[in-house]
Amino acid sequence: MAMTLSQKRQTFSVFRYAILTVWLCIVAFPMFWMVGTSFKPDREWFSWPPVYITENATLRNYAIVWANINEYTKADGAHIDPKTGELSQYTQSLQRPWTALRNSTIIAGLATTLAVIFGSVLAYGVSRHQILSESRMFQLLMLRMVPPIVLIAPISLWYRQIGLLDTITGLVILYFLTSLPYAVWMSKSFIDEVPREMEQAAEILGASRWRTIWEVVLPLVRSGLVATFLFILILTWSEYLLALLLSKAEVLTLPVELSKYQGSTEGRVYGRQAALSVGITIPLVFVGLIIRKHLARGFSFGMVRR
């Protein structure tokens, strides 16, 4: 039986919504589970059959993790050191989410700002005066693509020698270097789109090159730079390996703070992990949705032409 064109279209439309909805479930379920678990009371974390929507929603997980409300009791298990009767060392070390949040914000914010400022100036040079050849621009990608694990041990020893281990500066330097390739490529894609007439006018009026950059070119691509900033913020905010190995106690970041809950001898604490996870994820989702139209640019290295 032959189908008419409009029937074909309709079949395709149904088929499309079906597939997309299946994928939507796959994408949304872990998110739903994370948020759901963060509101579950302790006894429902491991119950069988699993509780999908809890009827005993509680804010206790958030209170314990974020508000530092010390509700640990003996009933909660071994959170109390049996010898001293005090909170165990382990539990104490966990109660610093706000410190971690502060560190994460400062480190990611600072490294990203530096990368965008430096990267956009470099991108201006490349876009207008070819100060780096195309090959050099691609080689710049090595900074991000060679896995940091191969150099992290000597860097950590070197950092210890020069007093950068476990400092904000130490992490900012490395985050700056590893996010620079994306910063240069992405801001270049925006600068390339700006017509040169304005700069030429500024030049005729006698503005120096730096003044032209700061007062003409970069303001013209302001929204592009904001997109670049947020894009790189996503990468630096979620970085785990460098933060884990180069910060010991002082400058732990949110992903490291979260990972401390895992290796515990005190059993899994899913609800608390989820409550912390929600807090780590919300800012990124927010940021990502703001720049959703520009995400492709960050990765596309001039390969997508509009």
Site residues for another protein, window 257-286 (CB under 8 A)? 258-259, 261-262, 268, 270, 273-274, 277, 280-281, 284-285
201 binds another protein (CB under 8 A): no
Residue 58, number of CB atoms within 10 A of its CB: 15
Residues whose CB is less than 8 angstroms from the CB of residue 103 and which lie 6 or more positions away in sequence, other chains included: 168, 247, 251, 252, 253, 254
- Minimum gap (Å) between residue 225 Cβ and another protein: 17
30 binds another protein (CB under 8 A): yes
Which residues in the 88-127 window bind another protein by CB under 8 A?
118, 121-122, 125
Q: 174 near 167, Cβ under 8 Å?
A: no
Question: Encoding tokens for residue 240?
Answer: 């785990």
- Minimum gap (Å) between residue 83 Cβ and another protein: 28
Question: Encoding tokens for residue 222?
Answer: 């302001």
206 binds another protein (CB under 8 A): no
174 binds another protein (CB under 8 A): yes
154 binds another protein (CB under 8 A): yes
Q: 198 near 133, Cβ under 8 Å?
A: no
216 binds another protein (CB under 8 A): no
The smaller minimum CB distance to another protein, of residues 82 and 147, is found at: 147
How far apart, in whole angstroms, are the C-alpha atoms of residue 197 and residue 232? 30
Of 161, 195, 206, 265, the one binding another protein by CB under 8 A? 161
Kindly state the greatest CA–CA separation across the chain: 81
The smaller minimum CB distance to another protein, of residues 43 and 129, is found at: 129
The smaller minimum CB distance to another protein, of residues 81 and 238, is found at: 238
Question: Encoding tokens for residue 259?
Answer: 């990972």
* Segment interacting with another protein (CB under 8 A) among 23-31, 63-71, 79-87, 219-227: 23-31
Question: Encoding tokens for residue 214?
Answer: 């700061």
Q: How many residues bind another protein (CB under 8 A)?
A: 93
Angle, CA 177 vertex, CA 139 and CA 296 arms, to 5°: 70
What ranges in the chain are assigned the alpha helix state H? 5-38, 60-66, 89-94, 97-129, 134-139, 142-145, 149-161, 168-191, 197-204, 209-212, 218-220, 222-238, 241-246, 254-262, 270-290, 295-300
Of 3, 7, 10, 16, the one binding another protein by CB under 8 A? 16
Residue 181, number of CB atoms within 10 A of its CB: 21
- Minimum gap (Å) between residue 86 Cβ and another protein: 27
198 binds another protein (CB under 8 A): no
Which residues in the 227-256 window bind another protein by CB under 8 A?
234, 237-238, 240-241, 245, 254-255
Could you tell me the sign of the dihedral formed by the alpha carbons of 46, 48, 50, 53, in that order?
negative
**Residues paired with 80 in a beta bridge:** 87
Q: 227 near 187, Cβ under 8 Å?
A: no
26 binds another protein (CB under 8 A): yes
175 binds another protein (CB under 8 A): no
3 binds another protein (CB under 8 A): no
131 binds another protein (CB under 8 A): yes
Could you give phi then psi for residue 88, rounded to 5 degrees? -70, 155
The smaller minimum CB distance to another protein, of residues 79 and 231, is found at: 231
20 binds another protein (CB under 8 A): yes
Of 1, 2, 75, 150, the one binding another protein by CB under 8 A? 150
